[in-house]
Amino acid sequence: MSELSADLFGGLLAWVLTLMVLSFLIRDNPLFRVATYLFVGVASGYAGAIAWHNVLEPALIEPVFARGLGALMDVTLIVPWVLILLLLFKLSPSTSRLGSVSTALLVGVGAGVVVGGAITGTLIPQSVAAMATLSPAAVTPTTGETGLERSFSVLVLLVGTVSTLVYFQFTARKTATGEAQRSAVVNVAAWVGRLFIAVTFGVMYAGVLMATLVILSERIQFLVIFVARFFTG
């Protein structure tokens, strides 16, 4: 197959798949489901191939063939193999309990990575950035705001940060009847924090919607251009 034919076939396949996905605008139909199944299957196959070539083969398979029986003395190689073999017992309900160790380790490590990443990659940097921007003397490099504008921005940021944190403060003092009751100041701050959260989610939704519209317009433009090139040669 020549390069021109390959490009034409690839473009035609992309054109057909795009129409199959866009057919969901009419209603849910088999064409849309086939396109989504194909996308999920290709993505899963690609992820599996990446895991095999970048992790499993170089870290577990190649050392065994390269070192032979000497690999049995390497704890860093034996332990992953044992955990993998235990995980295979999950295929049978009668022996699934033997794979609980591997599953628990996967869940624990995954949770630790997620929590650690959220703290070091999101919570701490955002806290440091919030504290840095609270300085009235600081000047935003992109906007150059100073004076009253800067003070207003600092005030909005401070109120939004504090009220949002108060909204997620669920401890309350119990009254004589045993009911939990927060003070009026905390309730007002929590209400303001809820407004900031609602605005944040609205902005996020608007951003997702805009990104979706951009992708849709790009796909429609692709369909039009491909048809025009096909008929004009």
What is the full per-residue pLDDT of the chain (233 aa) written as tens digits? Answer: 555 576 777 778 888 888 888 888 888 889 999 999 999 999 999 999 999 999 888 888 888 888 777 777 778 788 888 888 888 888 888 888 888 888 999 899 999 999 988 888 888 887 777 777 666 555 555 556 666 777 777 788 888 888 888 888 777 676 666 666 777 888 888 899 999 999 999 999 999 999 989 988 888 888 888 778 767 75
Cα–Cα distance for residue pair 205/160, rounded to 1 Å: 19
> Within 10 A of 22 (CB to CB), how many other CB atoms are there?
16
Structure tokens that stand for 75 in this block? 């704890």
Structure tokens that stand for 214 in this block? 């951009």
Structure tokens that stand for 181 in this block? 């009751």
Q: What is the residue type of 70?
A: G
Cα–Cα distance for residue pair 110/104, rounded to 1 Å: 10
* Alpha helix ranges (H) inside the chain: 3-22, 30-51, 62-67, 75-88, 100-118, 124-133, 147-167, 184-232
Cα–Cα distance for residue pair 216/223, rounded to 1 Å: 11
pLDDT at 44: 95
Cα–Cα distance for residue pair 162/176, rounded to 1 Å: 29
Taking the alpha carbons at both ends of the chain, their separation in whole angstroms is: 19
pTM of the entire predicted model: 0.60
Structure tokens that stand for 109 in this block? 């490590």
Cα–Cα distance for residue pair 8/129, rounded to 1 Å: 50
pLDDT single digits (tens) 52-102: 999 888 888 888 888 777 777 778 788 888 888 888 888 888 888 888 888
Tokens 């992109």 belong to which residue? 142
Longest pairwise C-alpha distance within the chain: 84
3-state SS, residue 120: helix
